[in-house]
Amino acid sequence: MKIIFTSKANSYKTMKEAYKHIGLDEKLIDPNCDLGKMKLHYLGLDSESNEVYVSNYYKNKHIFSNIISGLGSVFKEEIIILDID
Amino acid sequence: MKIIYCCYGGAHTSIVASSIHMGYLPTDKIPTSEEILSVPYYDQSANNSVGTPLFMGVDEYTNEVYVMGMGHHRDYYAVMTYEYAHILASDKGTSIRIINALSCINNYIRIGGFLSRRANLISIGRPLTVFGIQRNYKYFVELVSNLKKAIKVD
């Protein structure tokens, strides 16, 4: 399973939640970090060996969610999108 | 391989291109209005379903053909889709190809699509999109034929 943490454009907040989920030290995050627009970044595996990604959807959240979950079903992969906004 | 035809809303240009690819529409003549309107998903997609891949079938090379609307930010979404598909496909031994069907659009399809899908004036918009598609049909055929040549080379 893949877990994707996302927000509109708040890269730091997204990273913070993902770091918490994985169990990493939040102090390691650069407060000025920028995830870019609609780019997926792999962060690591959580305690249940789920792949964790972070991304900013920037605009049109429903299109972002539809593409991520739609392609997930095309490739028969379970996807969880966690919108932290 | 998975082939995804994309356009703005996934209702007209990508549907027609994928239908030519699948053989639902002819390549040797301009189809009639009835033929175009009988294609699956033609002028059907709702605004909130933009981004959802629609399965059109499996072609003669056993590639799965899909249609997807990507809205205004196609450039960003195409890059994201490639990267994401690479992540998903890496352990499944398959690849993906995204084709921009909007290269075949004209103002008749643009205005007709807006009237039908956004303004809900289907009786005016839908025939206009059909007319626009018939006018540019040779470009759709060329797009698909170029893709099939490229697939053969691969």
User: Does the structure show a pLDDT above 80 at B143?
Assistant: yes
Q: What is the pLDDT of residue B56?
A: 95
3-class secondary structure per residue, B31-91: CCHHHHHCCCCCCCCCHHHCCCCEEEEECCCCCEEEEEECCCCHHHHHHHHHHHHHHHHCC
A14-56 per-position pLDDT tens digit: 999 999 999 988 888 888 888 888 888 999 999 999 999 999 8
Q: Which residue of A has its CA nearest to B79?
A: A39
Q: What is the pLDDT of residue A70?
A: 93
Any CB–CB contact under 8 A between B86 and chain A? no
Task: Show residues of chain A in contact with B92, CB under 8 Å.
Answer: 75
Q: What is the pLDDT of residue B78?
A: 85
pLDDT band of residue A84 (cuts 50, 70, 90) is confident
B83 to A72: CB separation less than 8 angstroms, yes or no: no
**Distance from C-alpha of A40 to C-alpha of A42, rounded to nearest angstrom:** 7
Task: Show residues of chain B in contact with A75, CB under 8 Å.
Answer: 85, 88-89, 92, 94
B52-80 per-position pLDDT tens digit: 999 999 999 999 999 999 888 888 888 88
Q: Which of B48, B83, B87 sits opposite A62 (nearest CB)?
A: B48
Q: What is the pLDDT of residue B141?
A: 97
A51-83 per-position pLDDT tens digit: 999 998 888 889 999 999 999 999 888 999 999
User: Does the structure show a pLDDT above 90 at B115?
Assistant: yes
Q: What is the pLDDT of residue B18?
A: 97
